[in-house]
Structure 1
Amino acid sequence: MTTIRRWVYGRWFVPIVSGLLIIGSFIASGVAGSDFRGLDTTTLLADALMIAAAVVAGAPIVKKAVDALLIRHIGIDLLVSVAAIGAIIIGNYWEAAAVTFLFAIGHALEAATLNKTRSALAELVAVAPDVAVVMRDGEQVEIDAGAVRQGEIVLVKNGAKVPVDGQVVAGSGALDEASITGESIPVEKNKGDQVFAGTISRGGFLHVLATGIGADTTLARIIHRVEEAQDAKAHTQSFIDRFSAWYTPAIMLLALVAGLITGDLVLALTLLVIGCPGALVISIPVAIVAGIGRAARNGILIKGGEYLETSAKIDVVAVDKTGTLTEGRPELTDVVVLDPSMSRAEVLSFAAGGEAGSEHPLARPILEAAADEGVRYDTPESVTPVAGKGLKAQVEGHRVLIGNQALLDEFGVDDDNAAQRAADEFARQGKTPMIIAVDSRVAGVIAVADTIRADAPEMVARLHEAGVKKVVMLTGDVQLVAEAVAAKTGVDEVRASMLPEDKLDAVTEFQRQGHTVAMVGDGVNDAPALATADIGVAMGAAGSAVAVETADIALIGDDLLRLPEAIGLAKRTVSVMRQNIAIAMITVLALLAGVFAGGVTMSIGMLVHEGSVLVVILNAMRLMRRRGGAPRSAQAAAASIRGEDGLGDADRDTDRDTDRDTVKA
C-alpha cells in the first residue's frame, strides 16, 4: 500500500495517466462504432478521453495558477491554464490535452533533473551516520548517532562511520574523509588527531572523545550551508524573477490584442502557450544548484548564488602569509647573542619565558626549541601584547621585551644597531626575526622560519590562468620577509607591516579602483578585511565552525588549489547561466515569429518549449562533471587534510597575523 501511495503522489503519476488517456483517445477514434440516437459513440468516447487527459494533467496546473493569483502573482501556470481551458471551450480537445500533458512532463523532468543536480547534498546526507558505539559503564553500547553525549568515548571500528566530531584518545586507523574534504585518500589517525562525523574507517580501531555532536558536527554544518546556498538567489536570478513578473502579463496582453485584431481565438491561445518563459525561469536556479553542488563535492562551500556569481568577477586576490602561503609550521632556526654577559641558553630561556604566556602561533617553535635543548624557563607573571610591535612580559622579576626595533624605542632600550642589522639579515633570508631585550639591555635576536607551501606557487599560477589579474600578499610581517616569500611564490604585490585596519584599507583601495576583491583568511582572523572584501574565503573550514558559518566561500581541507578551482567553477557557472538565458529567449522569439508566420500550432509550440526547458537543464548539468586537474601527491594531500601545521585548533583560531604581525606574521 505504501508503494502504491508513493507512486500515486510521485512526480510521474500525472504525466503517465494523462498519456495513457491520450493513447486511449487515439485508439477509440480509430475504432469503427455504431450510432446511438444519431450520435457517433466512438467520437464521443475519444473526445471524453482527450478531455479527461487534459483535466488530469491540467488540474494541478490550474490549482497552482489559482494559488498564485491569491497572492497576486501571475505566472506561467496561469498562461497554460487559460490556454488549455480556452482550447476545450472551442473544441480543440487534442490541443488542450497536448499542452497540459507536455507541461506536466516538463515539470516532472525539471523536478527529476533538479534532484540530480542536488545530488551533492543528497550524498552528504547519505553519509551521515545512523548509529554509534559508545562506552557506558565499562561496556560497549550501540545507540542512535544523535543520542551520543558530549564528552563520551565513541568506538570506531573498521568499516564504520564516525558518528561525531572528536579527538582520538586511543588506537590508530585510517579514515576516508572524502565526504568532508573532497579527498579520497585515506588519512592515518593516531592519538591526538581530529576526526569528523561522516568519515568512514578503512582500517584500525579508534577511541574518539566526542567534542561535536548532532547539529554541531562539521558534516551537519556543511549540509546546512549547502542546503541554504542552493536555495539562495543570484543577482541574475533576482532580475529574471522581476522580468517574469511583467513579462507574463505582457504575453497575456499580446494574446488578447492579437485575438481581438485577427478574430482568431486559436491564435490568441497559441500565443499564451508559446510565450511561456519556463526555460527562462529555470535557467538560473538550475545552474546555481549544479555549480554549488559540484563545488561541494570538491570540498568548496559557496554560501549562495550571489557569491557564486560575484566570484566569477574576482580579479584581485588578497592573501595573508602565515598559514596560507606558508605551512604555518615554523621552527626556530637561529639564536644570536648580543649581550656578552649572557649565554645562548639564557637568551632562549628569556624568550621562551615571555612566549609561554602568548597565544601567537610563533610562540610554539620557541617553546619547542627550548624543550628540545633542555633549556629551563619560568612561566611569566604577566604578558602584555603591544600592537604591531611585539610583547612585554615579566619573567623572574625581569622585564622581557620580544619584538622589533619600534618596541625597543617605545620602552627606551638603547641599541647600537647590531640587533637591527641581525634582524635585517634574517629577514633577507626569509626568516622572521625577533629582538630580545631584558630590562634595559638588548640580549639577542632569534629567528623563526616558516616553510612555504609546496602548492603555493601553483596556486598563484592557476589564479592567473583563471583570470585573476593580481595576487597581493597582505601581511603583518616585515617587508624583507614578505618579499622573500613573494619571490618564491610568484605573488604580484607585497604589502607588509600591516595591522588589521591596514588590510581593510588595502581591500577598500582595490575596490575603489574598480576591482572585485577576494580576501583569503581563516574566517576569524582579519575579520575587517574579510567582511569588507567582495568575497571572503576561509581556509581549512573543516577545523573551524566559524569559517563554515561566516565565510562567503569555505575551502575544506586547507588545500590552496581549491581557490583557483572555485573561481574557475564560478566562471563556468555564470557562462552556463548566460547560455541558458540565450537559449530560452531565442526559443520564445523563434516560436512567436513562427506563430505569426503560420505553421506553429499550440501543441508543437509546447513541445518545442518543453524541449528548450530540458536543453537548459541538461546544459546546466554539464557543471556536475568533474574537470581534471593536476592532482596533489598523496602525502601532501594527507598532510593538508590532517592539518599537520604544528598548531592545535585553538592556535589556528587565534590571530595569526595581528597585533604582532610586524614582527612575526
Structure 2
Amino acid sequence: MSDHAADHRHHDHGHHHHDDHNDHDHDDHDGHHHHAFDWLMGVRIAFVALCAVAVHFQWPDANPPLLMIGDQVFLPFSWWALAGIVIGGWPLLEEAWESILRRKMTMELSMGIAILAAAYTGYFFVALIITFFVLVAEVLEGMTLERGRRAIRNLLELLPRQVSVRRNGQIAEVDSSTLRPGDIVLVAPGALIPVDGRVIGGSSHVDESRITGESMPIEKLVDDHVYAGSINRSGALEIDARSIGKDTSYGRIIETIEQAERSRAPIQHLSDRLAAYIVYVALAFAVLEYWISKGDVNSTISVIVVAGACGVAAGTPLAILGAIGRAARLGAIVKGGAHLETLGVVDTVVLDKTGTLTFGKPEVVAIHPADGIEEGDLLAAATMAELRSEHPLGKAVIGLAQARGITIAEPETFSYTAGRGIAAVSQGERVLVGNRDWLLENSVSVQAGELPRGSTPIHVSRGGRYLGSISVADTVRPEAARAVSALREMGIRTVLLTGDTAEVADAVAAQLGIADVRSRLLPEQKLEHIKTLVASNAAVAMVGDGVNDTLALAAANVGVAMGSGTAVAREQADIVLLGNDLERFVETVALARRTRRVIWFNFAGTVVIDAIGILLVMTGFVGPVLAVMIHTGSELAFILNSARLLPMGKKPAHAHEERNIAAAPSAQPAE
C-alpha cells in the first residue's frame, strides 16, 4: 500500500558518487506510512468491522433516517457508518489529504476517493469494507517490513549488553553503552569481545571467522589487536578499548547496512511511477464507466477500488530490504539498493588475481632435490640462508621448515644482492640461495628441471655443490574455481586483470578456466580496461582487494572488495565480501537476479490483474465488495512474494552459530 525509504541518489552506470551518508531521509518524507499492529490499530480495525456489521444488518434501526440539509433530502444516513469511516479510516484519510497537499497521486488518495464516493452515494457498507481491508493490508505490510528491519537490527544485538571493566583499580559490570575509549575491558573465556582494541593482558585464541573469514581460532597475545564481534575461545583477556559501539569496524558495517536499507534503488522510483500511472488509469476508466453506465456509482467505485498498485509500491522496497538483509547473512555487505539492482544485470565480472583469486601469500608448492641430495638437507640449507631475509618467498620457505619441525641454524654471515639472491656462511661453507643467474654468476652449475606452471624456483647450493630448487607460488583459493565455473553457468563473462607476469597470470587463468587474461597491468591500465568494457555497454562488476584496484572499483558499474583487502578498497567498493569467499559473491549475484525477477513479476502481475479486474467490473461481473477482495488479495500476494527474499531463521543464541551475518570487514585496525 505504500513504499519505504528515502530518496537515493541516481546511480550512473559509469560512475559512483559515494554519498550514501546523506541519504537518510525518513519514510514520512515521501508521505508513505506503515502501520505496525499495535493495540490502537487492532481496536480501530475491530471497530470498523463492528460498524460494517451494524450497517449491513441496519442495526439498531431497520429504517435509517434520511440525511437532510435544509429542504434537500439526501441518502439514508447511519451514525455507525460515519463513526466507522472517520474513526477507523482516519489514518488512510490523513495520508490521502497529505497526498493532495503534495499534489501527488497515491494509492491512499485513490482509496480515500473511493471511500468518500461510496459514503456520499449511500454505499456505507462498501465504504466500511474498503476501509477494513485497506487497514488490514497496511498492518500486514507494516509487519512484514518490520520483520525485515528487525532482522537487520538483530545483527547489533549480537554484541554483549553488559561488560566487565577495570576503572580506578576496581572491576565493575557496566552497560556497554557507557564504555569509553581507554577503558580496560575484561573478557572471560567463551564471551563476545565488545570493542575494537589492543590486548594488554592475558592470552587466548579468538574466533574471528565472522570478521576475517579465518576458520581457525587465532592466538592473541599482548599488543595484538582484537575486534568487536569476535569470540574469545580460551583464556581471559584484558583489552584497551580503542573503538566503541558504532565506531568499531563491526558497528560501521551495521551502519552501512542500515543506510542501505533506507536507500532507494532506481527500480523503486520506477515502481512509484508505475503505481501512480495505475491510479491515473483507474480513475480514467472510472470516469469512462460512469459515462457508459449513465451514472452507476456502484460500478464506478468498483473500478477505482479494483485497480490496486499496492503490490508494486510496497513489494519493491520490501524485496530490496529483504535482499540486503539476506546478503548480509551470506557475508556480503551491499551499500545500497542501487548497487543490488545493478548487480542483478551484471554480465561481465572482472577479477583481480592477488588476494582475490589467490591468497596473496606465497607458499612452497614443490621441492626438487638434485641427484643424491636429501630433501631435508636442501630445505635446511635454504632456511638457514633465508632466516634473516625479509623477502616473501624466503618467508614461505621458513614457514614450511617450521611446519616440518626442522631446526633452523643461524648463518655466520649474511648478504643479499637485490634481484639475485642471498649468500650466507654456515659451518664454514658458503650457501647460495636465489635465482638461476645468481648461482651461475657464482660458478655453480644448475640442473634443469620440470617446474610447476606459474611457480618461481629458488635455487640452492652449498660449498659450490648444487642442492636443488624449491618452487614457490601464490596458491589459488580453493573456492575460486567453483565460483568462476558458477559465473560461467550464469552466462557471465569473466576477465582476469593482474599486474603479475604473463606466465603466472596464464597459469592461474588455466587453473580456473578463465579465457580472457590481461597481465603486467599498472593501476591506470586496469582502469582503462574497465572503462573500455563499460563503454561497450557491458554491465561490469570489478572484484579486487588492494590500493591498486581502487580506480577500477570506482569505474566499474559495481565495485566489490574482498574483506581482507585494504581500507581504501573497502571504502571505494559498493559491496564488501566479509569472508573473502568468491562463492559468497556468486550467491549475492544470484540473489540480486532473483530480487529483480521478483520485482518484475510483481510489476507484470499487478498490471495483468488490474486489467482483468477493470474488465470484469465494466462487464458487470464484479461489484464493490468483490473489487475490494481482488484489490487486497492481489496486494497481499505480491507483498508475500517479495517477503520470500527476507532472511529466514531465528536470531542465533550464540554469535558463532551464524556464519558471517555481519562483521567488520578487515583484519586490520580501523583507520
TM range (shorter): 0.7 to 0.9
Q: Does structure 1 residue 244 correspond to structure 2 residue 263?
A: no
Query: Which among 308, 315, 332 is matched to residue 340 of structure 2?
Result: 308
Q: Is the 8 A contact 2:382 2:397 kept in 1?
A: no
Equivalent position amino acid for 1:303 in 2: K
Query: Which among 554, 557, 571 is matched to residue 576 of structure 2?
Result: 554
Query: Which among 119, 142, 159 is matched to residue 111 of structure 1?
Result: 142
Equivalent position amino acid for 1:121 in 2: I
- Secondary structure of residue in 1 paired with 2:579: helix
Q: Is the 8 A contact 1:162 1:197 kept in 2?
A: yes
Aligned residue runs from structure 1 range 267-278, under 5 A: 267-278=299-310
CA distance in structure 2 between the aligned counterparts of 1:523 and 1:50, rounded to whole angstroms: 67
Query: 1:430/1:586 Cα in 2 relative to 1: closer, same or farther (>3 Å)?
Result: same
- Alpha-carbon displacement from aligned partner over 1:291-315 (angstroms, at most 9, x marks no partner): 1111111211112222112112222
Aligned residue runs from structure 1 range 317-466, under 5 A: 317-331=349-363, 365=396, 429-432=453-456, 448-465=472-489
Match of 1:284 in 2: 316
Equivalent position amino acid for 1:571 in 2: R
Equivalent position amino acid for 1:191 in 2: L
Equivalent position amino acid for 1:20 in 2: L
After TM superposition, give the deviation of residue 560 of structure 1 in Å. 2.4
Q: Does structure 1 residue 578 correspond to structure 2 residue 600?
A: yes
CA distance in structure 2 between the aligned counterparts of 1:56 and 1:378, rounded to whole angstroms: 93
Q: Does structure 1 residue 616 correspond to structure 2 residue 638?
A: yes
After TM superposition, give the deviation of residue 17 of structure 1 in Å. 2.9
- Secondary structure of residue in 1 paired with 2:82: helix
Q: Is the 8 A contact 1:175 1:203 kept in 2?
A: no
Match of 2:668 in 1: 649
Ranked by relative contact order (alpha carbons within 8 Å, sequence separation 6 or more), the top structure is 2
- Secondary structure of residue in 2 paired with 1:557: coil
Q: Is the 8 A contact 2:159 2:228 kept in 1?
A: yes
Equivalent position amino acid for 2:170 in 1: E
- How much is the aligned-residue C-alpha RMSD, in angstroms? 4.7
Query: 1:130/1:545 Cα in 2 relative to 1: closer, same or farther (>3 Å)?
Result: farther
Q: Is the 8 A contact 1:255 1:268 kept in 2?
A: yes
Match of 1:394 in 2: none
Match of 2:629 in 1: 607
- Alpha-carbon displacement from aligned partner over 1:604-639 (angstroms, at most 9, x marks no partner): 212211111111121122223669xxxxxx9xx99x
Match of 1:438 in 2: none
Match of 1:15 in 2: 45
After TM superposition, give the deviation of residue 523 of structure 1 in Å. 6.2
Q: Does structure 1 residue 55 correspond to structure 2 residue 86?
A: yes
After TM superposition, give the deviation of residue 107 of structure 1 in Å. 0.7
Aligned residue runs from structure 1 range 438-587, under 5 A: 448-465=472-489, 467-522=490-545, 524-540=547-563, 546=568, 549-587=571-609
CA distance in structure 2 between the aligned counterparts of 1:245 and 1:608, rounded to whole angstroms: 19
CA distance in structure 1 between the aligned counterparts of 2:413 and 2:520, rounded to whole angstroms: 31
Query: 1:335/1:139 Cα in 2 relative to 1: closer, same or farther (>3 Å)?
Result: farther
Query: 1:452/1:85 Cα in 2 relative to 1: closer, same or farther (>3 Å)?
Result: same
- Secondary structure of residue in 2 paired with 1:149: coil
- Secondary structure of residue in 2 paired with 1:324: coil
Aligned residue runs from structure 1 range 136-175, under 5 A: 136-158=167-189, 160-168=191-199, 170-173=202-205, 175=207
- Alpha-carbon displacement from aligned partner over 1:582-619 (angstroms, at most 9, x marks no partner): 22112211111111011222222122111111111211
Match of 1:395 in 2: none
Query: Sequence identity of aligned pairs in percent?
Result: 34
Match of 2:28 in 1: none
Q: Is the 8 A contact 1:478 1:496 kept in 2?
A: yes
Q: Which has the higher helix share?
A: 1
Q: Is 368-377 or 215-224 further displaced after alignment? A: 368-377
Q: Gaps spanning 5+ residues in structure 1: where?
A: 1-5, 337-343, 384-389, 392-401, 436-444, 628-633, 654-665
Q: Is the 8 A contact 2:95 2:108 kept in 1?
A: yes
After TM superposition, give the deviation of residue 549 of structure 1 in Å. 4.2
Match of 2:103 in 1: 72
Question: What TM-score, normalized by structure 1, do the two folds share?
Answer: 0.74
Q: Does structure 1 residue 99 correspond to structure 2 residue 93?
A: no
After TM superposition, give the deviation of residue 570 of structure 1 in Å. 1.1
Q: Gaps spanning 5+ residues in structure 2: where?
A: 1-35, 69-74, 369-378, 421-432, 460-468, 650-655
CA distance in structure 1 between the aligned counterparts of 2:383 and 2:191, rounded to whole angstroms: 47
After TM superposition, give the deviation of residue 474 of structure 1 in Å. 1.3
- Alpha-carbon displacement from aligned partner over 1:397-434 (angstroms, at most 9, x marks no partner): xxxxx9999xx9xxxx9x99x99x999986x6322479
Match of 1:265 in 2: 297
Equivalent position amino acid for 1:221 in 2: R
Match of 2:616 in 1: 594
Q: Is the 8 A contact 1:295 1:301 kept in 2?
A: yes
Q: Is the 8 A contact 2:499 2:522 kept in 1?
A: yes
Query: 1:33/1:284 Cα in 2 relative to 1: closer, same or farther (>3 Å)?
Result: closer
Q: Is the 8 A contact 1:182 1:299 kept in 2?
A: no
CA distance in structure 2 between the aligned counterparts of 1:35 and 1:502, rounded to whole angstroms: 83
Match of 1:657 in 2: none
CA distance in structure 1 between the aligned counterparts of 2:278 and 2:413, rounded to whole angstroms: 76
Q: Is the 8 A contact 1:54 1:98 kept in 2?
A: no
- Secondary structure of residue in 1 paired with 2:221: coil
CA distance in structure 1 between the aligned counterparts of 2:115 and 2:414, rounded to whole angstroms: 84
- Secondary structure of residue in 2 paired with 1:329: strand
CA distance in structure 1 between the aligned counterparts of 2:479 and 2:453, rounded to whole angstroms: 21
After TM superposition, give the deviation of residue 504 of structure 1 in Å. 1.5
Query: 1:618/1:276 Cα in 2 relative to 1: closer, same or farther (>3 Å)?
Result: closer
- Secondary structure of residue in 2 paired with 1:486: helix
- Secondary structure of residue in 2 paired with 1:519: strand
Match of 2:114 in 1: 83
Q: Is the 8 A contact 2:385 2:411 kept in 1?
A: no
Count of residue pairs the alignment pairs up: 586
Q: Is the 8 A contact 2:349 2:541 kept in 1?
A: yes
- Alpha-carbon displacement from aligned partner over 1:121-143 (angstroms, at most 9, x marks no partner): 02213223323222334432322
Query: 1:432/1:46 Cα in 2 relative to 1: closer, same or farther (>3 Å)?
Result: farther
CA distance in structure 2 between the aligned counterparts of 1:219 and 1:203, rounded to whole angstroms: 22
CA distance in structure 2 between the aligned counterparts of 1:9 and 1:167, rounded to whole angstroms: 48
CA distance in structure 1 between the aligned counterparts of 2:248 and 2:664, rounded to whole angstroms: 17
CA distance in structure 2 between the aligned counterparts of 1:310 and 1:83, rounded to whole angstroms: 38
Equivalent position amino acid for 1:484 in 2: A
Q: Is 544-553 or 495-504 further displaced after alignment? A: 544-553
Q: Is 601-610 or 15-24 further displaced after alignment? A: 15-24
Q: Is 270-279 or 9-18 further displaced after alignment? A: 9-18
CA distance in structure 2 between the aligned counterparts of 1:307 and 1:533, rounded to whole angstroms: 11
Equivalent position amino acid for 2:346 in 1: I
Q: Is the 8 A contact 1:540 1:559 kept in 2?
A: no
CA distance in structure 2 between the aligned counterparts of 1:377 and 1:562, rounded to whole angstroms: 49
